[in-house]
């Protein structure tokens, strides 16, 4: 091997090591994220369900910090609260207490979406009932989530679950705003995830329960999402507005399902979605 080729090869090796080191550092920034604490909000059927809390940073507010409550995705079957740790780290630095919720999923608890929705309701009720000890404002709770988790947040926003739910409990379950990442909004026949809920879809399909009390809503969606067509999200927003509510649909050209998740390879959409959520929260006057 000539001297020139040797130096070229050595330079290439050094460059690759530097790149891999940068990626490792960048990855560790998020893989090492841990919540400030975990709180048990429900014990049911022998399972302990927890809220992963990232305490707001910044000066204390007289009525407590606003809250962003997030539910992970995974078709109500898979996933964990870790999905939203990067987002929670970002938003706690903005002055919100961010909570990533654990709920029952089919792969672990042999459950279905109706059970997950019961847990989501229990989670927001817990936050309101324990607002003082958690230093949060019970009147400034933003619920959100991705995909199936977005469905849970949207369902709370439209007042689900309806059956056998006392009116006072139903009203307390409603968040004060919604941030929905490619959410499952319409579960009617012909929709991508209808087969998962075919027997009882009409009971838990957010689109079919929109009323005049849904809180201000932000939907984040990629234009190439095969699970949530743009037309579905647009129809949801249109119906919210028709009923006197506020709804904004933010579209990301070429992005697919789950585009908002942080990854080592691409943090573009993670940053872009955080930015528009920041603006949305600012518009609410919650901070």
What confidence score (pLDDT) does residue 116 get?
Answer: 97
Alpha-carbon span 111 to 284, nearest angstrom: 35
Tell me what pLDDT residue 28 has: 39
pLDDT digits (tens, 9 = 90+) for 110-140: 999 999 999 999 999 999 999 999 999 999 9
Question: Chunked in runs of 10, what are the mean pLDDT values of the chain (287 residues)?
Answer: 50 38 40 93 96 93 95 97 98 97 97 96 97 97 98 97 69 94 97 93 97 97 97 98 98 97 85 98 94
Contacting residues for 229 by C-beta, under 8 A, at least 6 apart? none
Give phi and psi for 123, each to the nearest 5: -65, -50
> Please, are residues 102 and 241 in contact by the beta-carbon 8 Å criterion?
no
Burial class (CB in 10 A: 0-12, 13-18, 19+), 194: middle
In 3D, which of 131, 110, 129 has the Cα closest to residue 121?
Answer: 129
Where do the domains of the chain lie? 1-32, 35-284
**Helical (H) or strand (E) element with 37:** strand 37-44
144 φ, ψ (degrees, to nearest 5): -155, 180
**Percent of the chain, pLDDT > 90?**
79
Sign of the alpha-carbon dihedral angle for 230, 233, 235, 237: negative
d(CA 86, CA 52): 12
Rg of the Cα atoms in the chain = 21
In a 3-state reduction of DSSP, which class is residue 52? Answer: strand
- Cβ pair 73, 258 in contact under 8 A: yes
CA dihedral 269, 56, 247, 125 (to 10 degrees): 120
What is the structure's pLDDT at 286?
Answer: 93
Closest CA to 145 of 103, 189, 93: 103
pTM of the predicted model as reported, rounded to 2 decimal places? 0.88
- CATH for 35-284 is 3.40.50.1820
Q: In the structure encoding, which two tokens stand for residue 47, read together? A: 């399972």
Write down the pLDDT at residue 5. Answer: 52
Question: Strand, helix or coil at 162?
Answer: coil
Extract the tokens encoding 37.
Answer: 């604490």
pLDDT at position 87 is 98
How far apart CA 186 and CA 205 sit, in angstroms, is 5
Task: Quote the pLDDT of residue 1.
Answer: 54
CA-based nearest residue to 138, from 179, 178, 101, 172: 172
Q: In what order do the strands lie in the sheet with 37-44?
A: 37-44, 47-54, 97-101, 65-71, 136-146, 177-181, 217-222, 247-252
């Amino acid at each position: 091997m000539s001297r020139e080729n040797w130096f070229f090869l050595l330079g290439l090796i050094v460059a690759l090591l530097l790149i891999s080191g940068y990626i490792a550092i960048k990855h560790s920034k998020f893989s090492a994220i841990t919540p400030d604490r975990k709180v048990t909000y429900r014990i049911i059927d022998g399972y302990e369900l927890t809220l992963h809390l990232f305490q707001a940073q910044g000066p204390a507010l007289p009525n407590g910090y606003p809250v962003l409550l997030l539910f992970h995705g995974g078709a109500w079957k898979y996933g964990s609260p870790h999905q939203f740790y990067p987002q929670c780290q970002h938003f706690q630095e903005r002055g919100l207490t961010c909570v990533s919720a654990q709920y029952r999923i089919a792969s672990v608890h042999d459950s279905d979406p109706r059970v997950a929705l019961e847990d989501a309701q229990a989670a927001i009720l817990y936050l309101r009932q324990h607002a003082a000890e958690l230093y949060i404002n019970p009147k400034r709770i933003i619920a959100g989530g991705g995909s199936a988790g977005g469905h849970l947040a949207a369902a709370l926003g439209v007042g689900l679950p309806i059956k056998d739910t006392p009116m006072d409990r139903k009203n307390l379950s409603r968040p004060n705003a919604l941030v929905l990442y490619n959410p499952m909004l319409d579960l009617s026949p012909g929709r991508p995830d209808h087969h998962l809920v075919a027997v009882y879809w009409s009971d838990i399909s957010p689109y079919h329960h929109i009323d005049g009390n849904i809180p201000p809503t932000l939907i984040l969606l990629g234009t190439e999402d095969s699970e949530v067509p743009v037309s579905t999200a647009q129809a949801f927003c249109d119906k919210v507005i028709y009923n006197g509510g506020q709804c904004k649909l933010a579209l990301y050209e070429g992005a697919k399902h789950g585009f908002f998740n942080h990854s080592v390879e691409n943090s573009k959409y993670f940053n872009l979605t955080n930015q528009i959520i920041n603006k949305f929260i600012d518009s609410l006057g919650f901070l």
